[in-house]
Copies of this chain bind each other. A is one copy, B any other.
Amino acid sequence: MPEAPGAGADALVERAHGGDFRALARVISLIEDGGPRLRPVLKELAPLAAGARVVGLTGSPGAGKSTVTGALVKAFRERGERVGVLAVDPSSPFTGGALLGDRVRMQDHATDPGVFIRSMGNRGHLGGISAAVPQAIRALEAARFGVILVETVGVGQDEVEIASMADTTAVLVVPGMGDSVQPAKAGVMEVADVLVVNKADRPETQQTVRDLRTMVALASSAWKAPIVTTVATGGEGIGELMRQLDRHWDWLSHSGERERRRLARARDEVLELAVGAVDGRLARAAELAGLAARVADGGLGPYEAADELLATLGLPPL
């Protein structure tokens, strides 16, 4: 017998709130799936979600994000913080928290009840992964994690968008790769609060630092992103990275930027849910196939077709 959508939502959330990792993992799976059982869970989560400190990490594949994340987990644990990690891959449809990468990474923290690590893919959430991530952050907040690390691959727009949901966003760059500064240029640069040149034992490090310094100097933002060099595999530079993350966290509170980001995050979340709903309805409209055929044959312009599609929901034309 299938359970009713709301069955057990309160008990599940209560268990996650009480520190039950299996319940928390189940909540995040419900968020990934975005099915009818999610709505009552989110309603239960809302009042429990206190303000954790959310740190985003992004950068090209191979920049060493997992290693830096691991080093930051260790550093925050040494301060006594409980740390939740979301490793988000917007281009991946799978996961469910059982990726090989997770298991490998979990080994260091497998017996530590203060660390929770979870992969998230794009599994059918109504508003896409961009709507799912703030909900997963809320779930980790409800489970009383004080620090939440959100790690994404930093190339596409989804990834940049997700990284910028954090209070502080660190962008990782590798020295000397021709492409290393390219992702930084392409939209990632604007969301970087701290720049990390990882694998800084490579000879091209100083040139990369100089290039980044020039970029930062040209930016017009109130906060100038500091540049930190690390060799995360050996733990080098992690202390300095923590200091810069703390400095940005202080600045966020003093400048009012933290509140602004929190509101922007909620705004994006609500908007993506609503737009996702409309997207689903328009995609299911019986008229769409016929309109598409006329556009493909050149008999109808795409804007005119979109107008007719909007009219099926009673919406005015473009």
Contacts and interface: CB of A to CB of B under 8 A. Distances in A.
Contacts of A267: 288-289, 292
Interface in A245-291: 262-267, 269-271, 273-275, 277-279, 282-283, 288-289, 291
A52 interface: no
Contact of A315 (B135, B160, B278): B278
A305 B277 CA distance: 13
Contact of A269 (B262, B265, B293, B295): B295
Interface stretch (A79-87, A104-112, A151-159, A230-238): A151-159
Contacts of A12: none
A265 B48 CA distance: 44
SS of A interface (majority): helix
Contacts of A47: 298-299
Nearest to A41: B301
A305 to B, nearest CB: 4
A262 B187 contact: no
A90 to B, nearest CB: 6
A186 B296 contact: no
Contact of A266 (B39, B279, B295): B295
Q: Among the interface residues A269, A278, A291, A296, which one has the most CB atoms of the partner chain B within 10 A?
A: A296
A42 B303 contact: yes
Given A265-B296, A296-B265, A318-B126, A310 B277 contact: yes
A273 B303 contact: yes
A7 interface: no
Interface in A186-203: 186-188
B42 A302 contact: yes
A313 B296 CA distance: 30
Contacts of A300: 46
Contacts of A266: 292-293, 295-296, 302
A298 B93 CA distance: 30
A186 to B, nearest CB: 4
Given A46-B295, A60-B61, 18 more contacts: A49-B298, A90-B157, A91-B155, A91-B187, A92-B185, A126-B318, A263-B292, A270-B288, A270-B291, A270-B292, A273-B318, A275-B275, A275-B278, A277-B310, A278-B278, A278-B310, A278-B315, A315-B315
20 contacts: A42-B302, A43-B301, A43-B303, A46-B295, A46-B302, A62-B179, A91-B186, A91-B187, A156-B156, A156-B159, A262-B296, A267-B292, A269-B292, A269-B295, A271-B282, A274-B309, A275-B279, A275-B282, A277-B310, A278-B310
Interface of A: 39, 42-43, 46-49, 60-62, 89-93, 122, 126, 131, 134-135, 153, 155-160, 177-179, 182-183, 185-188, 262-267, 269-271, 273-275, 277-279, 282-283, 288-289, 291-293, 295-296, 298-306, 309-310, 313-315, 318
